Chain A
């Protein structure tokens, strides 16, 4: 098993090489002429005013929280989905099915709650 993940490691090394190589080549061959205007942030030709890294709207955080809930739910579903058909053929299908439906209903309630509370409305 471990060698198989080692192959991914080899590919990772190759990928890093493929990412670093163009940066190095560009640093060697590309011309460099620095000027104040080039160093400005792009904004319709006028000098930019004010901070860029400002506070942004809370709604992004709300979506991030909801994402966490549902993403972890999905992770739980994967091992279950792999073994479900085998369990169904062995006769445990109904039990496993009901368990999973209970789990999904709990999560659906979370989605319905967020929906009803207006958290999913982008204003």
Chain B
């Protein structure tokens, strides 16, 4: 591998990680603004114009506040938990394309520049799910190590919740995988671009509407966002698994959660909203202008998705725990299996030979 390739990859890593950590800071501001809008308040407006410097103030506060470690905690695990949250949230993004990648990538002197940190990793989406399920260790270890009954309950609830919702999450994307014949996310995107019917694009949300609903619900549960934030549940568990965390370690849990929201938004957009696919952009167009436009389109869609996730938080009340488990096991998993069977029968009917 040439030196310039390593340079490109390092630039990509620092650009993406830096951009997303900055984005998370502003997502918290955005979330507070949306909360204020939903509750007819004004929201943060003291730091800078429209509160735009609020993230800086938050960051300074997290760094400069006392980092209390309670006396009864299991110290190594207590410190390890927020670190796991950040590491898993960051590396989960490795195979997610944020623009044209793989065969559709633009080239410099014949060398393709992929808009993806680790291009051509053929397990693609399986890797994202694998890392996503490792993220649960942050919550379980945090809840266990805190030696606090609220935290322990939060961690326990979360472990059962995440493993339950992982199954419909994994099953729901199989339809798109079958159609695109690949686990790589950029192949799924170019499939959606190539197979449109005239002006109607073959976006996953049209091709696999049931899978989209299942995926969306499971994704909310996987990111611990309302209406599924049983692990935190302020009204019953104080803060849930992060009750005993303060200052930067608390911030790291939050950073991990919001990075997870970004990754899930990317996945939703790529699998079900065509990724960079727009009416005026085709997969054949591998020029640099098209590439920049595609990156713009995908980031625009992801922003809308993030806003949607925040909007839902202030719209729906929290589930009860038995309802949560019933939804996963008695509704989503049978529906996902049904969707799978229907998809494969339809494929056999329309595309099968003999």
Contact = CB atoms under 8 A, between A and B. Distances in A.
A98 B110 CA distance: 45
Interface in B93-124: 93-95, 117-122
A88 B177 contact: no
Do most interface residues of chain B lie in helix, strand or loop, or is the interface mixed? helix
Contacts of B1: 3
B182 A82 contact: yes
Contacts of A11: 13, 17, 90-91, 93-94, 117-118
B236 to A, nearest CB: 13
A48 B149 contact: yes
Interface stretch (B196-204, B208-216, B296-304, B337-345): B337-345
Interface of B: 1, 9-10, 13-14, 17, 21, 63-68, 70-72, 79, 82-83, 86-87, 90-91, 93-95, 117-122, 126-127, 144, 146-150, 152, 156, 159-160, 163-164, 166-167, 170-171, 174, 177-179, 181-183, 238, 243-244, 247-249, 251-252, 321-322, 325-326, 329-330, 333-334, 337, 340-341, 344-345, 347-348, 351-354
Contact of A30 (B64, B164, B341): B64
A115 interface: yes
Interface residues of A, number: 71
Given A7-B94, A12-B87, A22 B178 contact: no
Interface in A56-99: 56, 60, 63-64, 66-67, 70-71, 74-75, 77-78, 81-86, 88-91, 93-94, 97
B344 A42 contact: no
A6 to B, nearest CB: 8
Given A33-B66, A82-B181, A90 B353 contact: yes
A78 B164 contact: no
B10 A10 contact: yes
A116 to B, nearest CB: 12
A92 B336 CA distance: 24
A114 to B, nearest CB: 8
A104 B340 contact: yes
A8 interface: yes
A84 B147 contact: no
8 contacts: A4-B119, A30-B65, A31-B64, A66-B329, A81-B177, A93-B354, A101-B341, A104-B341
A28 B158 CA distance: 33
A44 B354 CA distance: 70
Contacts of A14: 13-14, 17, 90
B177 A82 contact: yes
A11 B72 CA distance: 34
A30 B333 contact: no
A8 B93 CA distance: 9
B337 A122 contact: no
A117 interface: no
Given A43-B149, A111-B333, A122-B322, A71 B244 contact: no
